């Protein structure tokens, strides 16, 4: 956190015909210049450099191949995806598919975009790939952080998403609903862009 700048150096004026400007001593020019050096060093270290570091943080990417696990709800088991080595696909005999996977993003990362790649040929099926957060104690409900409903188009979160691994756990839910049995829905990868 960057705190408001509070100057530490205050120049004490010399008085004409009273003060002798000298190099050393408690009121010497060397001491005053060293105090100025300390002021600039503190200003750089505590104020300017953190701002530059924050502005210069490059965007990074984490691309995941979905490795989805089936899950149950109050109504029973949800239809699962067909899992392949490098993708998942909606089974041809079902109208929907559900799955989730653990996601490990770096602590302090700010998620900027979510991109889903895949192959969707559906007459009305609804694809939803959502990053969720839930506190590690399970006291609060899980919260959706960002959802992509189409493939090939990056989606921005509607609010800032900062990863806090000390307080939360994160998982990805991938589901398609309302599809026809003949619809082709495949998810190849999920890419997070973060700083």
Question: Which stretches within 96-194 are classed as H helix?
Answer: none
How far apart, in Å, do the first and last CA atoms of the chain sit?
A: 17
How would you write the pLDDT of the chain (195 residues) with one tens digit per residue?
Answer: 567 778 887 878 878 888 777 888 887 888 888 888 988 888 888 888 888 877 777 899 999 999 999 999 889 999 999 999 999 999 999 999 999 999 999 999 999 999 999 999 878 899 999 999 999 999 889 999 999 998 999 999 999 999 999 999 999 999 999 999 999 999 999 999 999
Cα distances from 167 to residues 78, 97, 112, 155, 164, in angstroms, run: 29, 30, 20, 25, 6
């Amino acid at each position: 956190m960057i705190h408001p700048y509070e100057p530490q150096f205050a120049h004490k004026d010399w008085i004409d015909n009273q003060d002798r400007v000298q190099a050393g001593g408690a009121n010497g020019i060397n001491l005053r210049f060293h105090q100025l050096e300390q002021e600039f060093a503190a200003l750089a270290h505590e104020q300017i450099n953190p701002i530059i570091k924050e502005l210069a943080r490059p965007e990074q990417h984490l691309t995941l191949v979905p490795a989805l696990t089936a899950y149950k709800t109050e109504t029973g088991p949800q239809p699962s995806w067909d899992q392949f080595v490098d993708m998942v696909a909606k089974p041809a005999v079902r109208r929907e598919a559900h799955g989730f996977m653990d996601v490990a993003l770096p602590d302090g990362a700010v998620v900027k975009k979510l991109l889903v790649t895949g192959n969707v040929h559906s007459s009305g099926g609804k694809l939803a790939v959502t990053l969720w957060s839930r506190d590690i104690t399970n006291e609060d409900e899980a919260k959706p952080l960002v959802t992509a409903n189409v493939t090939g188009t990056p989606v921005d979160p509607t609010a800032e998403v900062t990863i806090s691994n000390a307080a939360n756990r994160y998982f990805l839910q991938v589901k398609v609903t309302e599809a026809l049995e003949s619809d082709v829905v495949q998810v190849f990868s999920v890419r997070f862009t973060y700083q």
